[in-house]
Each structure stands twice: as structure tokens, then as C-alpha cells.
Amino acid sequence: MRITLIGAGNVGVHLGKRLYKKKVKIHQVFSRTLENAKYLGDQINAAYTNQLEEIDGLADIYILAIKDDLIGRVGEQLAKNKTVQKKLVVHTSGAVESTVLAPYFKHYGVFYPLQTFSKNKKVAFKNIPICVDAEKRKDKKRLLFLANQISKKVYTISDQERAILHVAAVFVNNFTNHLFYIASDICTKEQIDFNILQPLIQETVLKIQDQAPLEMQTGPARRGDKATIKKHLLFLRQYPEYAILYSGLSESIQNLYITVQNRAQRSENR
Amino acid sequence: MRITLIGAGNVGVHLGKRLYKKKVKIHQVFSRTLENAKYLGDQINAAYTNQLEEIDGLADIYILAIKDDLIGRVGEQLAKNKTVQKKLVVHTSGAVESTVLAPYFKHYGVFYPLQTFSKNKKVAFKNIPICVDAEKRKDKKRLLFLANQISKKVYTISDQERAILHVAAVFVNNFTNHLFYIASDICTKEQIDFNILQPLIQETVLKIQDQAPLEMQTGPARRGDKATIKKHLLFLRQYPEYAILYSGLSESIQNLYITVQNRAQRSENR
């Protein structure tokens, strides 16, 4: 199985290196920036180019690891090569339907590694869930085969399920990271060492590996401790944007546990 | 140094066991629930009681590991014993001023372990930051000495700093956990295995150990990818409460990076 990799950003680089390490042959690498294409190509023993027209039809699967809004356009471009047009072409996006490639290719699908990549940080790829899908059963089988070579966690996930997973991923990754930013910003401005909070952060996340978040919630909103919430909001008056988020999240937590409690009482009364 | 521990909840139990393990003598343990008092007392070789009047004056430091709104009242009760009244009395709360104990004791302070405890889950106590403070220098020294026996991370933190840390802790712990709950709730309702998201969650938090959250943000809001945000909000129409939080957090992220960008441009133009 020969792979051509379109894109040498975070996903492209990590995916390319992992495939190479697992002895999957990378045929060509493309990046609009020649430097990036060369950097990756040299590392994974692949030809490289910054010209889409130079992508040839000699690979079996073409992986588009590019920005969401470029997938359609790049697909269209690639399909101008009549040999590529007949090949299996997939994208790596969590948010884009697989069908965005349908107008250009008979064999299309998705190869979505559900992880956040940073260019210079290694990740244990074997634990990264890879969500694959393809319209044709045979294509799906090929993607599953490829995914299983680089990860122990391979899932067949439909477009609809992937869209939902992507929303959930935004909550647990992007929004969580933003909360960390807010805490670090407050600490910096108030001249407190943010690292004091590191053990708490690590523990919060260790817990979730074996406990349900519903049961492990603590804090003023969970307790319905209005005095502390009020005190916190008073302090946050100097950070009005954070105050809004504090209120919204605290309300959501309070509502949740009121609902949980009412439900428990109703079932007791039965 | 002999300690009397008032309270056998999550904090009391973990703190008591850690002190015992580090060969600090626990003199008495109090809990309103005799069963809890006995459970902890037996484990850490301490006398136990559920009667505050039975707390005697033979310990050196009295640690109140009880609910925030009980600290004042229990302090007042304890101070009725004229010997206890002269001892060093501290509480373990992140949110309550040390001065809540000032009306009752000459020697008062705070002994605040900045961590989230679950009753049945072990934590690596030596890495838990302990924030201590006391009005009198000699008392502070004693608390630092005690804290250093059970943790490698000991900080002197004023009431004001502790209040700020507590707000920050709510963001990184309580609110983060709530985001995890939301994601798990969506997955459950949509019949998707929440565990697919576990590696992403773990990576999000590993990153923060050595990278600034400002630099490691990704996702639709960070990219200003309005199409994806719109799509997510459309899906979240069936979860109106989550939609509100999604909007608020996405806006906050977008505003942040617009500000960062403008700042960078201004300094370029100089």
C-alpha cells in the first residue's frame, strides 16, 4: 500500500512520520510551502513537491491533511489527474463531511485521528483513536487495514457521528484549554505562580479515566454555595469577560445538580 | 507536634492519613458522624469523638477540615475550652479568610491543600501544594514545618492570594470537569463511546505541563472558522444550555486571538 500525503501541517507531519515508522511506503508529499514539503519528505523518504500538478497516480491512497475549507478545492484540483481520480482519496478532518470529495472521486472517505497535535511534541500514536469511514465497503476495509497498522484504537464512525464527536472534542480540548488560559491569565496578572495549580489540573484529568464526571464534581456551584460564587464574581468584576463565563458555567452546574436531585427525589417518591 | 483534626470528610481523611504516615501524632479526631470519626480515628491511631465538647486542650495545632460555612461556628464552640482557645487553630478552606477565626483565637491561620480529593482515590500527597498562612510569624513557621513534613510543595499564601487561587482553581477543576460532563452527556445521548475522547483529554492536559495554553489553542474558534462554529451550534440546538456555553466560550477564544493579533500588528507597525 502506497500513500501520498497532501499537507505537511501538524496532522500531516505526525501522520507521515507514524506511517513511515510502521513501514508504510509514502510515495509523495505535498505542501504549498516547498520548505515544509522538503522537511517532511526527507524525513519519511518520500518525494516532495509544492505543485499539485506534480502529484501522480502511482499511490493507492491519497490523504488530504489540509485545512477544512481547502479540502473541496484541493480535491477538485487533484481529480484533474485522471489516474488519481480513480484512486481512494480521504481527508483527516473532524468537521467536514466525507461527501465533500464525492463530486471528484468515486472512492472517497475519511481518516480522522482524534487528537490534538503540536508540531514539536511527540505523541503516543498507538493510543490515538483513528475514525475511518468510506462509502464503499472495500474502501472502508482498506482504511481500517491502514489505520490498524498505526493505532490500536480504530473506529468506524459515520459522518454524523464524527460531527458529534467533533463538537464533544471542542468541549474537552479547545474549551478546557481556554479555561486553563483564563486561570493562567488571572494568575499572571495577580502575580501568582500558575504552576501551583498544575497538580490540581493533572488530578482533575486523571480522575476522569475511571470516574464519571457527574459524580466527581466539587466546588461552590456543585454545593450551591452562593456566598462563594458571589465573592468570586465580585473579584472577577475586573475581568468582565471571565465573569460572564464564570456565571454561565456555574449556573449550568447548579441547574444540572438540581435536576439530578429532583430526579432522585421523584424516583424515591414512587 | 500533636494535631487534632476536626472533620473526617474528603480533606480530613486524606490529610489525617498523610500526617499519620509521616509520623505526625494525631491526638483526637472529630466528626459529627460517629461512624466517620471512628473510621478515621482507628486508621490513624487517634482518639475519636462526635462531641465537640470532648475536644481537649492537649494538641498543639487544631485543623478544621470542615465545610466553609461551619468554620466560624465550630471555631466559636471550640474556643469555649479555655486551653484550646490558646492553641493554634487553622482551617483548610480555599475560599474562607483566615480572619474568620480571629474573634475566637489569638493564634489562627490557614492550612490549605490545593487539590481535589475523592474519598476512595489515593493521591500523591507529596506533590500537593499546601498553602499556609498565619497572622503571627511564629505560627506561620510552625505551619510551614508541619506542611513540609507531608508535601514537597509548600507556599506561604496570603488570604487575598488564596482567594484568587481559589477562583483560578474553580476554572481549571470544577469548570473543566463540567466540560467533560457535557461531552460525556452528548456522547451518551448520541450513543457514542465517550472513551474515544480519553486520549484527547489526556493529551490536552499533558501539554499544559510544558506549554503555555495561549500557544497551544487549536479548533474552530481559534481559527475563526465560522462555518464550523455555525454547524456545531446548529447541532447543539437540541441542547440549548450547552449551546449557550459553546457560544460564550467560542466568543471568548475569538476575542482573545483578535486581541493578540492586533497587539502583534501594533508592535510591528512601530
Contacts of A123 in chain B (CB under 8 A): 203
Mean of per-residue pLDDT scores for chain A: 95
- C-alpha–C-alpha distance, residues B40 and B269, integer Å: 65
Q: What is the pLDDT of residues A202-238, one digit of tens each?
A: 988 988 888 899 998 989 999 898 989 999 999 999 9
Average pLDDT (A240-245) is 97
Contact B10, B117 (CB under 8 A): yes
Name beta bridge partners: A156: A132
Q: What is the pLDDT of residues A17-47, one digit of tens each?
A: 999 999 999 999 999 999 999 999 999 999 9
- Give helix B176-189 / helix A159-169 axis angle, nearest 10°: 170
CA distances from B48 to B117, B118, B200, B223 (A): 22, 22, 45, 58
The cell numbers describing A260, all together, are 439530578
A197 and B168 in contact by Cβ < 8 A?
yes
In this structure, chain A runs to a length of: 270
Q: What is the pLDDT of residues B110-169, one digit of tens each?
A: 999 998 887 777 788 899 999 999 999 999 999 999 999 999 999 999 999 999 999 999
Q: What is the pLDDT of residues A146-199, one digit of tens each?
A: 999 999 999 999 999 999 999 999 999 999 999 999 999 999 999 999 999 999
At A123, is the pLDDT very low, low, confident or very high (cuts 50, 70, 90)?
Answer: confident
Q: Establish whether this prediction's ipTM goes over 0.95.
A: no
Q: Which of residues 56-115 of B touch A (CB under 8 A)?
A: 68-69, 95, 114-115
Residue A269 confidence (pLDDT) above 80: no
Q: What is the pLDDT of residues A54-92, one digit of tens each?
A: 999 999 999 999 999 899 999 999 999 999 999 999 999
The cell numbers describing A41, all together, are 519528505
**What predicted TM-score, i.e. pTM, was given to this entire model?**
0.89
Q: Which of residues 153-192 of B touch A (CB under 8 A)?
A: 153, 155, 161, 163-184, 186-187, 190, 192
A218 and B95 in contact by Cβ < 8 A?
no
> For A218, which of B116, B183, B194 is closest by C-beta distance?
B116
Name the nearest CA neighbour of B224 among B259, B247, B248, B258.
B258
Residues 6+ apart with CB under 8 A from A217: A253, A257, B174, B177, B178, B181
Residue A120 confidence (pLDDT) above 80: no
Is B141 an 8 Å CB contact of chain A?
A: no
Q: Which of residues 34-63 of B touch A (CB under 8 A)?
A: none
DSSP B160-182: HHHHHHHHHHIIIIIIHHHHHHH
A181 and B256 in contact by Cβ < 8 A?
yes
Q: Which residue of B has its CA nearest to A177?
A: B213
- Per-residue model confidence (pLDDT) at position B116: 83
Cell 509548600 belongs to B154
Q: Which residue of B has its CA nearest to A166?
A: B232
Q: Tell me whether strands B130-134 and B107-113 are parallel, antiparallel or unpaired.
A: antiparallel
- Report the run of H or E that residue B269 belongs to, with start and end: helix B240-269
- Is the sign of the CA dihedral A8, A12, A14, A20 positive or negative? negative
Name beta bridge partners: A155: A131
Is B233 an 8 Å CB contact of chain A?
A: no
- Single-letter code of the amino acid located at B102: A
Phi, psi of A113 (to 5 degrees): -80, 115
The cell numbers describing A147, all together, are 489505520
- Per-residue model confidence (pLDDT) at position B200: 93
C-alpha R_g of chain B:
23
